[in-house]
Structure 1
Amino acid sequence: MQTPAPFIISPTQKILKAQFSTHFQPSTGFEAGPIFHRRGPYDPRRLNPGGSFVRVRFAVRPQLRLSPCPPGAMAAATAAGAAAAAAAVSLLACYLLLHRTGAGPTRTSRSSGRRARRKGLLEAIGNTPLIRINSLSDATGCEILGKAEFLNPGGSVKDRVAVKIIEEALESGDLLCGGTVTEGSAGSTAISLATVAPAYGCKCHVVIPDDAAIEKSQIIEALGATVERVRPVSITNKDHFVNIARRRALEANKSAVAQRESSEKGTNGSAHVHARMSHSKITATQGESNKTLTNGSAHTDYEIQHNRKCDHDSDSKGGFFADQFENLANYRAHYEWTGPEIWQQTKGTLHAFVAAAGTGGTIAGVSRYLKEKNTNIKCFLMDPPGSGLFNKVTRGVMYTKEEAEGKRLKNPFDTITEGIGINRVTKNFMMAELDGAYRGTDREAVEMSRFLLKNDGLFVGSSSAMNCVGAVRVARDLGPGHTVVTILCDSGMRHLSKFFNDQYLANHALTPTATGLEFLDQ
């Protein structure tokens, strides 16, 4: 009787799963992608030094194959397997080396050259991950992706705006190193300015409406900024928090000039004249508050880069009104920074972008950039209750239903969401390129925030929840198979006293009760 030939049993479910038969036939492949989502158990991922996710796939299917082994085949197969494994490891090392040195996929201009070890707070801002929101994606059949802006150092998308506003002001000379940045903000921009300003050698003074979540002003004070809480009034009122912030910048400039003139009294005539000429003029109008206190040699962030110290204790550096609503540095932050990141992270494959608007900077900058890259990308506004932007986009007229024909209430309860919705068109919003608008409700935002927390572990704030409501609406209208991107502006940590306060919600009949997404079907 003939003795049967021995058999080779191939190794299975290893990092490199090789198939053996008469010949060794390994198959390896590499795939890089910045979108982090689960594809299966044999899809190990590593975070590359640049910050994007690299997906490494060894494309051999796990299986057990038995085949006759001719004489000498065992040794040959073993040698071939070792050689193939070494080649695969070498190829992986080369790929990661190229990706580390920048020879791999390019980064946005804003984040180019950044390393795994980032130099200081400012380099940690931006380049946030674009994450797949699994529950919403599975429910709609679309890829719904959220830009995780709550991972910025200051905790929100407004970090980008704070950086851009301060950098442009320093470069133009409107803000001097050691000066004070003033702003009227409901919270997030104020927190970002208070976070970023010290990195540029500046101080911060914030005027905030007293109906904003108390934890926001507490955070701002903890960051070392001056906080001034005022009652909420119409923007046409001189005591609106934005108008007060503008006045504070003017007052700081007048005080600075007075101090400089006083200190110059002991100098000789020519030096006195030269110093007076190098100081800026103080304008009397609020609308020109930023055209003040410029110096003959502009103070920019290069001063900080060259280790020149700023006089933090001096009040002679004046103030600068950030003016986030009308300052187009806000729009430029997203056109030059956020938009390119989204385009790169999706590799240009997105079909739609949707976001709410407050100042309008985010939706304007991102929509304009994406439209320039691909006119087929649809961009939509998501508007909360009490805001007139929905009517502006859909009908061309800025008013809310409550304001029509003089029906506006004296003290209307608009929305519990913060940082979004407005009843005027800002310069930043004018830059937006939109295809349509959706309107959400407070209940939808509350229910969505709890749904995301329960199903995805995402603890997001009110504006982020409203954005996700918009993302589902867009996905349903487009149909399965599309990619929809939105912004996760900030986390729920800043909304504990209102949006995540059970008693507060109960007082406004907003206690969440939904178990799924049925609240969007009502």
Structure 2
Amino acid sequence: MDFSNNILETIGNTPLVKLNKIVAEIDALVLAKVETFNPGNSVKDRMAVKMIEDAEADGRLKPGGTIIEGTSGNTGMGLALVAIVKGYKLICVISDKQSKEKMDILRAVGAKVVVCPTDVEPTDPRSYYSVSKRLAEETPNSWYVNQYDNMSNSLAHYEQTGPEIWKQTDGKITHFVVGVGTGGTISGVGKYLKEKNPNIKVWGIDTYGSVFKKYHETGIFDENEIYSYITEGIGEDILPKNVDFSLIDGFTKVTDKDAAVYTRKIALEEGIFVGNSAGACIKGLLQLKEHFKPDDVVVVLFHDSGSRYVGKMFNDDWMRERGFLEENVTKAEDVIKDHIDKELIVVRTEELVSHAIERMRKYKISQIPVVDINGFVGSVDETDLFRSYVADKNVAEKPIKEVMGKPFPIVKLGTPIEEVSKLFSKENDAVLVDLGNGHHHIITKYDIIGSIK
């Protein structure tokens, strides 16, 4: 009989799959190392086992202990599988930008999930780095994994993933391309491959909002490069010890939009349902295409499964809200089609300013058309009301007609977006669209910005 003694024995030996349509413009053989075939559906299963086994061996992790780790989700899943098999408790500290699917999956496999804000400094006590360390100090018989600086991370890939790729390509690999987060995969695989053949090029995929690319090129840790980004699993605002920059030949950065768009393209064009970092890797690969020759063998690693992103990159509404869907926005109705059925909020000339303020609060809007029995006669926006309030603290009890500005311009359905955009100015923050039958809808600056692709 052919069977595994537990789920951990099924980790590794993931397939190498030739990519076709999505890399048609690359003049080389491109192979994807599809790590979603691991039982936890990501590359992180490999290092989760290695880190725990090494901690057991040197006494850092004791029987019945609690494993604590800050994770973007995938490492947590790998740790959860090992914790289940070996009888440990697990606390995963995760940032709020990670997908709901990742959090739900971690809870499903028995992990306690603690969610922390994304937009804080690594040293902030609320950051998931800080919270992880604090929980490890407060929890009896616990071990803080720290995948960023735990060298068992890269060692797992040196011992497993690198040799697999070398064997599967019969030693013919010329380039290795992978997203960089903790640095374990690129450093472990890169070290093994370069020991086998120093001419193999190792390229890292970075994201905007991360420090890796500039630090590699200049040695400067530029805090101005650090800002919030959407792409999951790659990029950092710290320099993990697992990132061995000496093994990396170069980085290329990929935008959030491109990463999301290409994540969907991989599924549609190759039938491989993988996650957000895979999309970044493919777009990065295309950005590097001049580095590849016809006889080259390029291996790109796909980190995780698309199932963890069904509410994000694979959701049309989520993509549309961020301007990531490749849609043609050419006319006035294109800009407002997602909320065209909503009622236009108005205020009447004789209503009090306080009524307009209350409507702005209730509907979370910044400008309102003013009407009387003859139609649109004016407008108010939050800037007008603020100025009026500064000038007169009793303005809230005055009628709207005393503070209103000029009415918003009105355009017809079918008006080109270029013409609509020209109607916005310092004095005018919105445009009304005549829908016919006496109905109108509003286009704001926010709507125009949201339509920019």
TM-score, normalised with respect to structure 1: 0.60
Instruction: Classify the secondary structure of the residue corresponding to 1:229.
Output: strand
Distance 1:431 1:140, change over 3 A: closer
Task: State the match for 2:61 in structure 1.
Answer: 175
Residues 357 and 381, structure 1, Cα contact 8 Å, conserved in 2: yes
CA distance in 2, matches of 1:143, 1:473: 16
Map 1:98-497 → 2, pairs under 5 A: 116-232=2-118, 233-253=120-140, 318-399=141-222, 403=224, 412=227, 414-430=228-244, 433-497=247-311
- Displacement of 1:137 in angstroms is 4.7
CA distance in 2, matches of 1:122, 1:199: 8
CA distance in 1, matches of 2:246, 2:101: 32
CA distance in 1, matches of 2:290, 2:271: 23
CA distance in 2, matches of 1:512, 1:493: 22
Which amino acid letter does the alignment assign opposite residue 325 of structure 1? Y
Which amino acid letter does the alignment assign opposite residue 341 of structure 1? E
Greater strand fraction, Structure 1 or Structure 2: 2
Residues 122 and 237, structure 2, Cα contact 8 Å, conserved in 1: no
- Displacement of 1:480 in angstroms is 2.4
2:345 counterpart of 1:507: no
User: Gaps spanning 5+ residues in structure 1: where?
Assistant: 1-114, 254-317, 515-521
**Could you give the per-residue CA deviations for residues 2-32 of structure 1, whole angstroms, max 9, x where no partner exists?**
xxxxxxxxxxxxxxxxxxxxxxxxxxxxxxx
CA distance in 2, matches of 1:165, 1:491: 22
Task: State the match for 1:37 in structure 2.
Answer: none
Distance 1:154 1:432, change over 3 A: farther
- Displacement of 1:431 in angstroms is 6.1
**Comparing 483-492 with 505-514, which one deviates more in the overlay?**
505-514
Task: State the match for 2:432 in structure 1.
Answer: none
Instruction: Classify the secondary structure of the residue corresponding to 1:429.
Output: coil
Distance 1:513 1:480, change over 3 A: farther
Residues 94 and 114, structure 2, Cα contact 8 Å, conserved in 1: yes
Which amino acid letter does the alignment assign opposite residue 330 of structure 1? N
CA distance in 1, matches of 2:149, 2:216: 19
Residues 264 and 313, structure 2, Cα contact 8 Å, conserved in 1: no
Residues 183 and 322, structure 1, Cα contact 8 Å, conserved in 2: yes
CA distance in 2, matches of 1:186, 1:503: 23
CA distance in 2, matches of 1:245, 1:393: 28
Larger Rg: 1
CA distance in 1, matches of 2:230, 2:52: 30
- Displacement of 1:165 in angstroms is 0.7
**Could you give the per-residue CA deviations for residues 126-179 of structure 1, whole angstroms, max 9, x where no partner exists?**
111111112245432311111110110001000011101100011111101211
Residues 27 and 292, structure 2, Cα contact 8 Å, conserved in 1: no
**Could you give the per-residue CA deviations for residues 36-79 of structure 1, whole angstroms, max 9, x where no partner exists?**
xxxxxxxxxxxxxxxxxxxxxxxxxxxxxxxxxxxxxxxxxxxx
Residues 70 and 93, structure 2, Cα contact 8 Å, conserved in 1: yes
CA distance in 2, matches of 1:169, 1:352: 33
- Displacement of 1:337 in angstroms is 0.9
**Could you give the per-residue CA deviations for residues 317-352 of structure 1, whole angstroms, max 9, x where no partner exists?**
x11101011111111111111111111111110110
CA distance in 1, matches of 2:287, 2:2: 37
CA distance in 1, matches of 2:317, 2:22: 28
Distance 1:484 1:121, change over 3 A: same
Question: % of aligned pairs identical?
Answer: 38
**Runs of 4 or more above 3 Å deviation:** 136-139, 473-476
- Displacement of 1:470 in angstroms is 2.3
- Displacement of 1:116 in angstroms is 5.0
Residues 390 and 437, structure 1, Cα contact 8 Å, conserved in 2: yes
Residues 140 and 475, structure 1, Cα contact 8 Å, conserved in 2: yes
